[in-house]
């Protein structure tokens, strides 16, 4: 294991980010004291990243819940720090800003509003879009007393191709705002 190799770029997900921020500012709800400025050159802290693999059925996924900040320690010797500061990463160069017109075009291609002019993919997303006059499938669930025998699945849920009812026509399991949004999707 190498030690004091200098600054590294750490890209983390929201779980690790939350752990780091909570450690720095503390969390009164779980009685966790704030560590303060963990980046201080003389009394800052190293962050020990601990990755374990967890099982979920047949799949496994990384878990970082054991990661933690170590006890305060100096950043390094003055000559090491000077070398690190001269060899810092140019983080600004890693960020590529695209012109607004290019972003709008890519969004339109993604939404299937325009064809990809580069012709690189040959994929036509309009094949998977519905026409505005398409009907919406709705499901009706029948209520049965709890003490009765379970009904067959086909009788319990009836799916039909229908237009969405206007408010007041039938008792709805969804609120009016949801239904209005659903209606506006096809218009």
Map out the domains of the chain as residue ranges: 14-94, 136-185
User: Bridge partners of 59?
Assistant: 56
pTM above 0.85, yes or no: no
- For residue 24, give every residue at least 6 positions away whose Cβ sits within 8 Å of its Cβ, in sequence order, or none: 34, 35, 36, 37, 38
Grouped pLDDT means (10 residues each) for the chain, 187 residues: 76 90 92 91 90 92 92 90 86 86 87 74 64 52 46 38 46 58 60
CATH 2.60.120.1090, domain 14-94, yes or no:
no
Let me know: does 45 contact 38? Beta carbons within 8 Å: yes
Token pair listed for 53: 């693999």
Token pair listed for 57: 């059925």
pLDDT at 140: 46
* HSE-up (13 A, CA, CB side) for residue 25: 7
């Amino acid at each position: 294991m190498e030690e004091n190799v200098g600054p590294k770029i750490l890209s983390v997900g929201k779980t690790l980010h939350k752990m780091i921020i909570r450690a720095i500012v503390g969390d009164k709800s779980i009685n966790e004291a704030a560590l303060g400025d963990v980046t201080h050159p003389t009394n800052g802290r190293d962050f020990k990243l601990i990755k374990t693999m967890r099982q979920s059925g047949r799949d496994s996924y990384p878990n970082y819940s054991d990661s933690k900040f170590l006890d305060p320690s100096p950043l390094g010797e003055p000559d090491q720090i000077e070398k690190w500061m001269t060899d810092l990463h140019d983080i600004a160069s890693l960020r590529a800003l695209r012109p607004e017109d290019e972003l709008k075009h890519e969004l339109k291609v993604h939404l299937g509003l325009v064809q990809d002019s580069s012709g690189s993919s040959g994929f036509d997303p309009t094949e998977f879009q519905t026409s505005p006059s398409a009907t919406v499938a709705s499901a009706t669930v029948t209520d049965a007393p709890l003490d009765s025998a379970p009904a067959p699945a086909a009788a319990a849920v009836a799916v039909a191709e229908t237009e969405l009812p206007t408010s007041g026509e039938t008792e709805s399991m969804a609120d009016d705002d949801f239904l209005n949004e659903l209606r506006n999707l096809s218009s």
